[in-house]
Amino acid sequence: MRLSPRTTGILLLGLSAVMIAAPGFAGDRHFDRHHPRRDQVMDRTQRQNHRITRQVREGELTHAQAHALRAGDRSIRQQQRADARANGGYITKQQQKNLNKELNANSKQIGH
């Protein structure tokens, strides 16, 4: 089967586009999960969740208070995911700063 020069050119152009895009897709998935700014925010929300659990166990927070605090942390995680989706898998320094301000406010409500 012999292809016309035009058809061959179109196929080569399409193949080139796929080859250029493919490594980016694979890299973005890995980059999404392991970007340092995202990791820092996620680690903080996990630590705060452990603190909430400990505070409930020790009787310093009620279950209703814990639920509200966890909802705040959940909202922060959702915002972080939305920010990352909008920026190709990472969050900017300003977004990290804003998320940390929200985490700080939530942390003050948890106590030590």
Place of tokens 């166990």: 57
pLDDT of residue 101: 95
Q: Model-level pTM?
A: 0.66
Of 97, 45, 98, 51, residue with least CA distance to 71: 45
Question: 32: buried, middle or exposed (CB in 10 Å: 19+, 13-18, 0-12)?
Answer: middle
1 pLDDT band (50/70/90 cuts)?
Answer: low
pLDDT of residue 27: 42
pLDDT of residue 39: 87
pLDDT tens track for 64-104: 999 999 999 999 999 999 999 998 888 999 999 999 999 99
The answer to whether residues 49 and 70 touch, using CB atoms and an 8 Å cutoff, is yes
Give yes or no for residue 26 having a pLDDT over 50.
Answer: no
The arithmetic mean of pLDDT across residues 36-61, rounded, is: 92
pLDDT of residue 38: 86
The arithmetic mean of pLDDT across residues 12-32, rounded, is: 50
Domain ranges of the chain: 1-34, 35-110
Give the Cα-Cα-Cα angle 64, 69, 47 (nearest 5 degrees): 125
pLDDT of residue 5: 74
